[in-house]
Each structure stands twice: as structure tokens, then as C-alpha cells.
Structure 1
């Protein structure tokens, strides 16, 4: 009887450790405008540096631990229209994870910006889309 209880505890611990360490983000940058967009600031390393008009680029970003933070500013029209994007997640406890995303216009020319996020609450992986119009 004691052996069965020990195996159950070990199985639970291994399952929790694996699920809390999965931090893969599939990020798509979508340029719906008629001009090329350029990354003027961002982290982590590996974000698309530029995206041609009417094109999307997708990258896979790997994060260790229990959080991810992505920030990107994409500009068009010679740095006059810009969108600032963020996407993140943080594990706050055994059964608690928070996902966030945002998109905001910046610059002197109006830009339409959108951020979407599709989280997986079991693995803590997610897909995010940063779109410029």
C-alpha cells in the first residue's frame, strides 16, 4: 500500500513540472497595409525585422520558466505611423496562469493596430498575432 502512494505523488509532481515549463509562443506579424513595416524596437531577439505589404511572417519563440514577455513596435510611412504590441503570460501558482496582450497606436499618422492571443491553459503555450492595417 505504501508503494502505491509514493508512485502517485511522484506521478503528480512530474506532470505539474512538465506543464509549467512549456513556454512556446507562435507569433505572427500581419501587415495588411500597402507599405512595408519595420521593427523599430522589440524584445526578445528573433522578431521579424520587416514585413512586406500584404504579407505575414511567423516565428516560434521559446521561453524558459514560468513567464513570457514580448514587446514590439512596428512602423510605416517613414516612422510616422506606428503600432506598439505586447503579449505575455505568467504562471502565478499551481493552477493559475494569466495571459495578456495589447495593441496601441503611436506616431503622427493614424495606424490601426490589433493584437490577438490564443492561450493554452494546460501547457501555457500560446499563439499571438500582431496586425497592422
Structure 2
């Protein structure tokens, strides 16, 4: 299975690392592996749900500011792609998934941090 060589999947049943196994059966628990099972298992990760949520929150916050409206639309596009391209998302390496989460939440965090500084720190100067 070429999918096993491109990604670092784990068995959906026992979490055994499947990279480099010769056949399409988990050597630990005996589960017959299909690409569909492995992709669905990778797509149910809670981190992926948080990344998608981060894209939509960032898109809404960026779109609320007139200056950053084009970037908000870009993040809305990322959110739509994230939800409609499950195969591409499932083939991401764990490192790329973590970077996607940071990329998804960074604008929201910085905008809210800037708003907090503006509201609570600047009035005292």
C-alpha cells in the first residue's frame, strides 16, 4: 500500500505503527487494512476538528476588520478546503498537521491579544 509509505498511520484498532509492514494486515491485532479505514481514522483526530474551527474563527475575526478583509476571505477559503479535501488532509504528516493548527489559530490569537491590549492597557497611558 503506497499510502502506508507516504504517511505514518497507526492501526485504528490497536494504534500499532504501520509504517514498513509488508502486507495489508496489522501484525499486532490482525485487522485487515484498507486505505478508506486508515483515512477515516486519521480524519477523526480531535486536532483536525480544532484546526477547522480555528480557520473559521480566524476568518470571522479577520473579516470583521476592514483592513484585513481579504485575508479573512483567504482563511474562509482554507476552511472550505479543510472540510472538502479529506484525502489531502489525511495524507499530511503529523508535523504538517500541527503547523496547520498554529496557522489556523494565529490570526485569532493575535487579533484578540491586540484588542485586549487596546482595551485594558492603552487607556492608562
Same fold (TM over 0.5): no
- Between Structure 1 and Structure 2, the one with more helix by share is 2
TM-score w.r.t. the length of structure 1 is 0.30
Larger strand fraction of residues? 1
TM norm structure 2:
0.31
